[in-house]
Homo-oligomer: A and B are copies of this chain.
């Protein structure tokens, strides 16, 4: 939303792309290139290859990691008038690019967050060759192929291969590259920050402007318009280094809230440099929001660790927004595309809308991958979804190496400056699972101390944590049935974490989706080789993931067709996720977050923990999770998945409430529904009214399932009288009557 509305003319750049084995050699073949783009996409297009996401096509791209890619364009520069300047602007690189004017390297760009705005007046002439030389994918010398290769770089580790991402390392120019003739001033930066008074009744806002080419004394005007249209305005002048510092005080600001707690109010902030006639020569408009976000202890958090020798209390992980504790319901966000140039604003906005539709209020942008572009954060701002933002460290021992620290420092400063104006920003995090055995980092690691320091300097009022999980927080599991034999129902009831910030439940993609990328002859039965494996159906993580082929057959017996496989797998994913989200909510306020792994996908997975298939198609688990994340619902704490007719059934009945207002008294009934049989009332509860945000535990119901329970499944429904939108339904497995109707031999002996 920023523009140079003084004279400005974009010059055409017609890019060609070629590769060479070293930086000293020239490419021998050139193909047309798109910018923004990726070398892989251009080369595949020139070669006429099938899409990289079909079958095992992505295996073709390995050689592209290790060559130098040259983007080349001839500059078509008109004669400049006095006072005109020429700017070359490069919005990021994958991953390290040198900028050559003719044969001379004049600058470098490293990573997607780095925006280079280079004054090339008098240095780039009409007809000169402009070359952007992209270096091979960074790889730690000596590392085995895989994520460890990304240990010395801010390049996303996920590109080196993950259990839901093929090895495919995007290289090239992911953002715009422009050549522009400019007359008058040009933005260097325009930052608006604010502090809120302790009682939230006053915001002191500040805009600091830096421009180049602006004369001292140039007027700078700033207007801040409230949602209702009331505007505050102030004016200043540029000093002799092109800077201005403006202040506005906002009384009783309308606060930004997550959508489920209030209105995500935003203010329109407009900054303009006024030319001699009072018309804007430079203009920037953006929406800002006022909110306070903190990480605080849960109410009982100080009461632990009372025996001697005494350790510290667990770190806080409850989000408090504008003074109110907010249970974080949401998911782990990953890039919606392997190639960032395909991450369109439309896609980003659509996915954030789906997050709201899932009743989520928090997305954790996972640090193993690159952070989303601005359209994502704009959508989160507008729709009231909080964003947890991570730096590019994931599951590796990122080193105390000075070169790496310098790259990380630059990256972090660029990322923090880009994201901090967004009111959706709730939390900075150093990266994923860094304090665990597979990462080998500790609190002493200089990269994490550096990130803490950068966040403190640039955005002190947003919380920072070095990694997830911290002490008390839980990651995993990602299975319906754990290795120790416990089902997710039991395991979660036994857990007592302060937040569940990553937990998965795998399920297959839709039949139609599977058909779109798995060759017909591989489709069924699924094979632990070929496309099923390549797309993470087999051997993705621990054995039998993510398709869970063995587990499904263990529950349901032989599976004879793809449709049945998908139906059963998606059922278990749906019920598994409901079990976790609702148990996490029942553990409030000790527990304060439930974020599944993961929301979306970056390419078609045969099976995955995601709620959405690539590009943005709902799995059945999506609706199941949306139901479990309603602000208010009746919830059953179940004991297990598979039951036999006539078996003694037990469950806890709760009313969960994250709403910011009181819940009235309601009557809840629990019914057993089997297909083709009459519903059976299993229990009821007259739940008294509850305060805003207050969960309430009802009775533990114990009853016997009907002896006659037709069908392979049955439903247990908790119905709320007068509030069907609060009612819940669980579909459980009926494994049939065999176990109970056939007495065991020992019993026969005793009879």
What 1/0 mask marks residues of chain A from 459 to 496 whose CB sits below 8 Å from any chain B CB? 01001110101111111110000100000000100010
Query: Which residues in chain A, 443-471, are within 8 Å of chain B measured between CB atoms?
Result: 443-444, 446, 449-450, 452-453, 456-457, 460, 463-465, 467, 469-471
Q: Within 8 Å of chain B (Cβ to Cβ): is A316?
A: yes
Query: In the bound complex, what is the Cα–Cα distance between A495 and B457 (angstroms)?
Result: 40
Instruction: Flag if A302 contacts B444 (CB, 8 Å).
Output: no
Instruction: Flag if B315 contacts A442 (CB, 8 Å).
Output: yes
Output the least CB separation between A321 and chain B (Å): 14
Query: A467 is contacted by which of B297, B312, B463, B472 (Cβ under 8 Å)?
Result: B312
Instruction: Flag if A309 contacts B442 (CB, 8 Å).
Output: no
Query: In the bound complex, what is the Cα–Cα distance between A472 and B305 (angstroms)?
Result: 11
- On whether A474 and B311 interact (CB within 8 A), knowing A303-B437, A452-B452, A452-B453, the answer reads yes
Complex: chain B residue closest to A438, CB-CB: B302
Q: Within 8 Å of chain B (Cβ to Cβ): is A42?
A: no
Q: Within 8 Å of chain B (Cβ to Cβ): is A390?
A: no
> Chain B contacts of A475 at CB under 8 A?
308-311
Instruction: Flag if B469 contacts A444 (CB, 8 Å).
Output: no
Q: Is the interface of A mostly helix, strand, loop or mixed?
A: loop
What 1/0 mask marks residues of chain A from 344 to 356 whose CB sits below 8 Å from any chain B CB? 0000000000000
> Chain B contacts of A511 at CB under 8 A?
none
Query: A312 is contacted by which of B294, B312, B444, B471 (Cβ under 8 Å)?
Result: B471
- On whether A453 and B444 interact (CB within 8 A), knowing A436-B305, A471-B311, the answer reads no
Query: In the bound complex, what is the Cα–Cα distance between A188 and B437 (angstroms)?
Result: 47
Instruction: Flag if B477 contacts A308 (CB, 8 Å).
Output: yes
Output the least CB separation between A347 and chain B (Å): 31
Query: In the bound complex, what is the Cα–Cα distance between A487 and B503 (angstroms)?
Result: 43
What 1/0 mask marks residues of chain A from 297 to 328 whose CB sits below 8 Å from any chain B CB? 10000110100111111011000000000000
Query: A476 is contacted by which of B310, B435, B464 (Cβ under 8 Å)?
Result: B310
Q: How many residues of A contact B (CB 8 A)?
A: 49
Query: In the bound complex, what is the Cα–Cα distance between A296 and B397 (angstroms)?
Result: 14
Instruction: Flag if B295 contacts A444 (CB, 8 Å).
Output: yes
Q: Within 8 Å of chain B (Cβ to Cβ): is A440?
A: yes
Query: In the bound complex, what is the Cα–Cα distance between A482 and B467 (angstroms)?
Result: 37
Instruction: Flag if B308 contacts A435 (CB, 8 Å).
Output: no
> Chain B contacts of A453 at CB under 8 A?
449, 452-453, 456-457
Instruction: Flag if B312 contacts A469 (CB, 8 Å).
Output: yes
Q: Within 8 Å of chain B (Cβ to Cβ): is A684?
A: no
Output the least CB separation between A456 and chain B (Å): 5
Instruction: Flag if B309 contacts A500 (CB, 8 Å).
Output: yes
> Chain B contacts of A463 at CB under 8 A?
444
Q: Within 8 Å of chain B (Cβ to Cβ): is A4?
A: no
Output the least CB separation between A582 and chain B (Å): 16
> Chain B contacts of A500 at CB under 8 A?
309
> Chain B contacts of A294 at CB under 8 A?
444
Q: Within 8 Å of chain B (Cβ to Cβ): is A58?
A: no
Instruction: Flag if A465 contacts B443 (CB, 8 Å).
Output: yes
> Chain B contacts of A313 at CB under 8 A?
435-437
Instruction: Flag if B443 contacts A315 (CB, 8 Å).
Output: yes
Query: A497 is contacted by which of B309, B442, B456, B464 (Cβ under 8 Å)?
Result: B309
- On whether A312 and B470 interact (CB within 8 A), knowing A444-B294, A457-B453, the answer reads yes
Complex: chain B residue closest to A468, CB-CB: B312
Complex: chain B residue closest to A443, CB-CB: B315
Query: In the bound complex, what is the Cα–Cα distance between A296 and B475 (angstroms)?
Result: 24
Query: In the bound complex, what is the Cα–Cα distance between A312 and B436 (angstroms)?
Result: 6
> Chain B contacts of A446 at CB under 8 A?
456, 460
Query: In the bound complex, what is the Cα–Cα distance between A474 and B305 (angstroms)?
Result: 10
> Chain B contacts of A474 at CB under 8 A?
308-311
- On whether A309 and B503 interact (CB within 8 A), knowing A442-B295, A443-B316, A446-B460, the answer reads yes
Query: In the bound complex, what is the Cα–Cα distance between A444 and B442 (angstroms)?
Result: 18
Query: In the bound complex, what is the Cα–Cα distance between A177 and B572 (angstroms)?
Result: 77
Output the least CB separation between A71 and chain B (Å): 38
Query: A473 is contacted by which of B295, B311, B440, B460 (Cβ under 8 Å)?
Result: B311
> Chain B contacts of A436 at CB under 8 A?
305, 310, 312-313
> Chain B contacts of A495 at CB under 8 A?
309
Instruction: Flag if A472 contacts B311 (CB, 8 Å).
Output: yes
Query: In the bound complex, what is the Cα–Cα distance between A244 and B538 (angstroms)?
Result: 63
Instruction: Flag if A442 contacts B311 (CB, 8 Å).
Output: no
Query: In the bound complex, what is the Cα–Cα distance between A305 and B474 (angstroms)?
Result: 10
Output the least CB separation between A454 and chain B (Å): 9
Instruction: Flag if B295 contacts A482 (CB, 8 Å).
Output: no
Query: A442 is contacted by which of B316, B467, B477 (Cβ under 8 Å)?
Result: B316
Output the least CB separation between A9 and chain B (Å): 43
User: Chain B CB within 10 Å — which of A296, A435, A440 has the most?
Assistant: A435
> Chain B contacts of A302 at CB under 8 A?
437, 440
Instruction: Flag if B311 contacts A469 (CB, 8 Å).
Output: yes
Complex: chain B residue closest to A456, CB-CB: B449
> Chain B contacts of A303 at CB under 8 A?
437
What 1/0 mask marks residues of chain A from 409 to 453 whose CB sits below 8 Å from any chain B CB? 000000000000000000000000001110010111010011011
Instruction: Flag if B308 contacts A476 (CB, 8 Å).
Output: yes
> Chain B contacts of A450 at CB under 8 A?
456
Query: In the bound complex, what is the Cα–Cα distance between A382 and B419 (angstroms)?
Result: 50
Instruction: Flag if B316 contacts A476 (CB, 8 Å).
Output: no
> Chain B contacts of A311 at CB under 8 A?
469-475, 497
> Chain B contacts of A452 at CB under 8 A?
449, 452-453
Instruction: Taking A296-B444, A303-B437 as given, write out 18 further A-B residue pairs in contact, using a Cβ cutoff of 8 Å, ordered by the A residue number.
Output: A297-B442, A308-B474, A308-B477, A309-B497, A309-B500, A309-B503, A310-B476, A311-B469, A311-B471, A311-B497, A312-B469, A312-B470, A313-B435, A316-B443, A316-B444, A443-B470, A446-B460, A452-B452
- For the complex of A and B, list the 7 residue pairs with the smallest distance between their C-beta atoms, beginning with the closest: A309-B474, A308-B477, A312-B435, A453-B453, A302-B437, A308-B476, A315-B443
17 A-B residue pairs with Cβ-Cβ distance under 8 Å, sorted by A, are A295-B442, A297-B442, A303-B437, A305-B436, A308-B474, A308-B476, A308-B491, A309-B477, A309-B495, A309-B503, A310-B436, A310-B469, A313-B435, A313-B436, A449-B453, A452-B453, A453-B456
